Amino acid sequence: MQKIIRVEQIYKSFGTLQVLKGINLEVRKGEIISVVGPSGAGKTTLLMIMGTLEKADSGKIWIDEIDLNRLSEKKLSDFRNQNIGFVFQFHQLLPEFTALENVMIPALIGNAKRSEAEKNAKELLSLMRLTDRMEHKPAQLSGGEKQRVAVARALINRPRVVFADEPSGSLDSDNKAELHALFFELRDKLDQTFVIVTHDEQLASITDRTIHLIDGKIASAQ
């Protein structure tokens, strides 16, 4: 199976605190991987580095065989917008825009035609079972609906991989279950790859592999 991500010897410190200590990891296309571990283990930091939002002190990352260390800031920013999707615990939707407009924004930033961006956004929102909520602003949506809009936004540019940081952390159990099922549906329908940081044991138990991070090192990965 094709490798989407390769991480080699990633180290990261904040001041005197060493957060990541030589991380090696490979992610294959179409995999759903969970990253678990106690608070302070370095899970979010690893996700941010893999997603190019943080820089490692040393080590290398390849996404689709592209060495991200070699890209300029401008090229890295373009690469991120086109190839990486993000979902965070709090949806981070823009309150003044509708659900549809929020989903379209990354496509428009990537210079897609407005008509094409709108068509793709509508298809994704339909896949999220939000067809009747497209013209609603975030304040008019439930927590679960907002998070599904955020997932659609992460997918609008058909990224190589989606990184999700505690995506169901603020949801009740019903919305959690629905969101978790959605990740697998998207993998089956779009061959989408997900790397998910989570404290949710139920989600971790159903992902293809679980990476256990303890004290900045991978303790196990199966």
HEC readout, 61-115: EEECCEEHHHCCHHHHHHHHHHHEEEECCCCCCCCCCCHHHHHHHHHHHCCCCHH
6 and 169 Cβ atoms separated by less than 8 Å = no
Q: Which CATH class is domain 31-56+76-221?
A: alpha beta
- Residue 221 binned pLDDT confidence (cut-offs 50, 70, 90): low
- Residue 197 binned pLDDT confidence (cut-offs 50, 70, 90): very high
Model confidence at 67: pLDDT above 90: no
Backbone angles phi, psi at 185, to 5 degrees: -65, -40
Model confidence at 64: pLDDT above 90: no
- Residue 1 binned pLDDT confidence (cut-offs 50, 70, 90): low
- Residue 208 binned pLDDT confidence (cut-offs 50, 70, 90): very high
pLDDT at 82 (0 to 100)? 83
Lowest mean pLDDT among 52-56, 108-112, 192-196: 108-112
Number of H helices, E strands in the chain: 7, 10
pLDDT at 169 (0 to 100)? 78
pLDDT at 137 (0 to 100)? 93
| 137-to-4, 86, 96 alpha-carbon distances in Å | 35, 20, 7
Stretch 55-82: mean pLDDT, rounded?
88
Give the domain ranges of the chain.
31-56+76-221
Stretch 159-186: mean pLDDT, rounded?
86
1 and 28 Cβ atoms separated by less than 8 Å = yes
Model confidence at 46: pLDDT above 70: yes
